[in-house]
Each structure stands twice: as structure tokens, then as C-alpha cells.
Amino acid sequence: MTDYAGAEASLWAYTVPKRYVGAALADDVSCDVAVIGAGFTGLRAALELAEAGTNVTVLDSGGVGWGASGRNGGQVNPMLPVFRPDDLLKAVGPTYFERLASVSLGSADALFDLIRKYGIDCDARQKGWLRVDHCAKARDTARKGAKLWMEYGADFEFLEGDEVRRLSGSPIYDSAVMARKGGAVQPLALVTGLAFAAEKAGARIFERTAVGAMARGEDGWVLDCGTHKVRAAQVVLATNGYSGAVRPDVMRVILPVTTTQIATDSLPDDLYDTLLPEGHTIADTRRSIMYSRREPHNRFVYGGAGASGRDGTPRGFDALRRDAQRIYPQLKGVKWRWQWGGKIAVTEDRVPRFMEPEPGLLVGMGYNGRGVAMSHVMGKVLADRALGAPADSLPFPVSKPDPMAFRRIQALGKGIAITAMQMMDRYEMRAGA
Ligand SMILES: Cc1cc2nc3c(=O)[nH]c(=O)nc-3n(C[C@H](O)[C@H](O)[C@H](O)COP(=O)(O)OP(=O)(O)OC[C@H]3O[C@@H](n4cnc5c(N)ncnc54)[C@H](O)[C@@H]3O)c2cc1C
């Protein structure tokens, strides 16, 4: 059975209908494309490549869904975490703005279509997503941003007052952007279904196979996986928040940040009925973000920024339980049966990165906690590029790793920077700033 380590403690590991069971690499392998990382990004790329007749091999040091893809909140969000179109325009320029706006606003529909196409049993629900504002300044930005995004075709609505409190089930928030295309999936079931689909299309998937080093020779890439090697003409690196020393230049472009979740067991009907009564998913605008959703059997899931211990395990669950009770006072005294966490990859401008550090090495990552839908966009783009799509035809600008990324946070220290963000959130919420 796949070892899900930290993810094993999740509600998703408990409710996943079927698990993927794969072998570790036990021989040398040669292929057209090697994909490092068996999460949404890597497996979506592998699925597209295998369907196009490419000989593709997927390698993961844990297993299918071991990273964020098997542990996340399962919220399908049809937008990048860039609140105003002009910020995205500034980050990527007019050509890529048009393309990125279009693929990100269409990303939720595209994902639900994919789930239907492959018949993936992952409790997919498209009932809409609420992004609620934690302070007056956020409300202002959201109101203006929603109006502008609607001019680019976003199916958004700006809501205020009692309707927000009714739909959220929380007395805390006064305003929200409703994104009707949003929804939810059981993430571990989705990534597992994707693995089965990729394998059926011809991809080979190896679990418990860490790539320790990679080098480019005359005939392509050689990946060192301990006792065995994988040779490939091209490599797709899809390791996101779990990127390690295999490419230190890529690691500098993203900041891995831990986020944690807790889930209740079955709640009484009269309590459960007050929480997100119309089945929306919800997230707020805090830097240390809250996100939650309801589940079958009257369960409720609540997430937020956490912390990692020295051993890398997620921490901060007591603070998360306190936060849940502050946002939803009716949850006082409930028993939280599950707790787990994982790592997201943050970029400086909140825009995902498509990089080609060297010929034949394609890298896609940096979804800033909004990767459930966008990683599928990226996976397809990685496959298109590996199949020969011109660099200037893609929705993402192709970049090289930026050696200056996160200089300020590196100088401050990541832990201090995150604590500072949480303090600013608390101040803004109290002051209604
Ligand atoms: C707790 C949590 C909640 C989240 N909630 C949401 C949400 O509600 N909505 C949303 O849109 N997004 C959410 N996200 C973000 C989303 O899960 C990610 O953006 C997305 O899953 C990234 O997918 P990926 O395939 O790129 O990376 P991952 O799923 O992280 O996969 C990377 C894989 O690379 C493997 N790997 C790393 N190094 C190596 C190596 N050297 N050799 C072999 N394998 C290697 C790892 O084992 C891992 O399986 C959340 C993330 C977390 C952690």
C-alpha cells in the first residue's frame, strides 16, 4: 500500500474510495519524458503525454498524491490569487495577461470536465466558492477587483451583509465575492483517479523512487534514483512545495509554506445545517488564509496557515482549532477527529511559474495555494511544450529561475515573516481596518 506519511492522518485517506498501489523502480529505464512528482501537475502532464503516444515515466519519492495533491482542501477555485486584473497585467504583460486570465477563469470548468471525461470518482461538486473579506480594505479591493474581473468574463458576484452571513454560516464576514464556477473535490481520490487514467493511457508510475540528482548529457538527461537510473530525452519537474536539492536554482523561485487542516466527525443536523448551508466552499482574504467546506456524513473541514516543526511535520493545530471557533462560534466544544497538513509553493508575485532552466528541462510550479485547478492547466501546458508547442504560444511566459526571488523574506527569516503576516491579519480583523 502507498505510504502517505503525513497525509495518512487526513480525512481524505479515510474516505478515499480506492488507492493506487505502485512499485518502486527496480531496473534502469529509458523513456521519452521522465516526470518527477506524482501530484496533479506531474500526472496531468503524464496523462496528456501518454495519450499523445509518448513513452513517459513518472517517479515520486513518496507515492501518488503523497504531496499537496493528496492532502489539500480540495477547493476548486476559478481564479489566481491576484485580486485585481491590473496586478496580473503588471506581472506578466498584456499578451500573457489575456491568456492567463482566460485559462485561470476557465480552470474550474475544465477540471470538472476532465473528471467527467475519465469518470473519476472523487465527490466532485460545483456549487460555487465564496471568498470572504476579513477587513474593510480587503472589501474595497474585492469589490473593485470583482467588477474588473467580470469585464474579462468572470462569473463573479459581489455580495454584502446578511446574505454573506447566511451563505457562510459565520457572523464574522460582511462581504464576499461569489465565484459560481468554483466547487470541491476529494483531492486524494482525484489524484488517484488521475494516476489510474495515466497508467491506462500507457504511463509507467514508480512510487518510493526519489530522484537524487540529474545531469544532462549528449543524449538527454540521466536521473540518479539511487541503485537505478532513468534516461530521458526530456524531464518535467513537478515537485512544487516539495522541491528539494535536485535543482537548487528552482527551489529559490518558490517559498514552501506549510498549511494545515482539521476535520470533525459527524455533527448533529441542527449544527451542520448552519455551516455553509448551500454547499459553497469558502476562503477568506487573510494573508494566513482560512478555508473550509462541508463534507458528506455531516463532517466539516477547516484549514489555515500552519507551521512546520524541525522534522518538517505540520504544527499549529491548537491555533487552528481556536481560529475555527472564532470564525464559527457554533463549533465550540466539537471534537476535531482528523488533523494534517502539507506544503504549498508561494511565488513573489502570486503567479505560477513555467520555467525552462536548460534545454529539455520543463518546470511547472508555484500555485500559491490555488493549485487544484491551476496545476491541471500547468500539467497540460508542460505536456504541450514537451510535444513541441512553441514557447511563445503558451499561456504562461517561459522564464529562467530568478536568483533574486524572495530576497526580503530570506533576509528576514521565513518563520518571522509568516508570524508578521499573521499579526497583521489579526490587527486588521480586530480594527476592521
Ligand atoms: C494543506 C493544503 C491545502 C490546500 N488547499 C488547496 C485548496 O483548497 N485549493 C487549491 O486550489 N489548492 C490547495 N492547495 C494547493 C494544492 O494542493 C497544490 O497547489 C497542488 O496540489 C500542487 O500539485 P503538484 O502536483 O504541483 O505538487 P504536489 O502534489 O505537492 O506533488 C509534488 C510531488 O513531488 C514529489 N517529489 C519531490 N521531490 C522529489 C524527488 N526528488 N524525487 C521524486 N519525487 C519528488 C513529492 O513526493 C510530491 O508527491 C493546498 C495545499 C495544501 C498543502
39 C-alpha to center of ligand 1: Å?
Answer: 6
Burial profile 197-227: b = 16 or more Cβ within 10 angstroms, e = fewer: bbbebbbbbbbbbbbeebeeeeebbbbebee
Mean pLDDT confidence for 123-131: 97
Q: Please name the residue ranges forming H helices in 52-176.
A: 85-105, 107-117, 136-151, 162-168
Index of the ligand 1 atom closest to the CA of residue 283: 8
Secondary structure (3-state) at 379: helix
Q: How high is the pLDDT of residue 380?
A: 98
DSSP-assigned letter for residue 252:
T
- Residue bearing cell 451563505: 167
In this prediction, residue 424 carries a pLDDT of: 67
Helices (H), 22-131: 40-51, 85-105, 107-117
* pLDDT of 3 over the 50 cut: no
Task: Taking residues 95-102, report their average pLDDT.
Answer: 95
pLDDT at residue 414 in the model: 65
Q: 186 — phi, psi (to 5°)?
A: -85, 105
Quick check: 200 and 127 in contact, CB under 8 A?
no
Report the atom number in ligand 1 closest to the C-alpha of 281. Answer: 8
pLDDT of residue 305: 80
pLDDT for 247-301, tens place per residue?
999 988 998 989 999 999 999 999 999 999 999 999 999 877 899 999 999 999 9
d(CA 46, CA 55): 9
Amino acid identity at 399: S
Report, as an integer, the average pLDDT of 171-175: 96
State yes or no: pLDDT of 406 exceeds 80.
Answer: no
- Work out the average pLDDT over 300-305: 94
pLDDT band per the 50, 70, 90 thresholds, residue 324: very high
* Structural domains of the chain in order of their starting residue, each with its CATH number: 5-72+188-253+349-405 (3.50.50.60)
Nearest-10 crossing angle of helices 136-151, 85-105: 60
Asked if 176 and 361 touch (Cβ cutoff 8 Å), the reply is no
* Mean pLDDT on 56-69: 97
SS3 216: strand
Return the residue whose CA atom lies nearest to atom 4 of ligand 1.
Answer: 72
Task: Considering only CA atoms, give the Rg of the chain.
Answer: 21
pTM of the model: 0.95
Looking at residue 245, what is its pLDDT? 87
Who lines ligand 1 at CB under 6 A?
36-42, 59-62, 66-69, 71-75, 77, 210-211, 238-242, 244, 246, 259, 261, 291, 303, 341-344, 365, 367, 369-372, 375
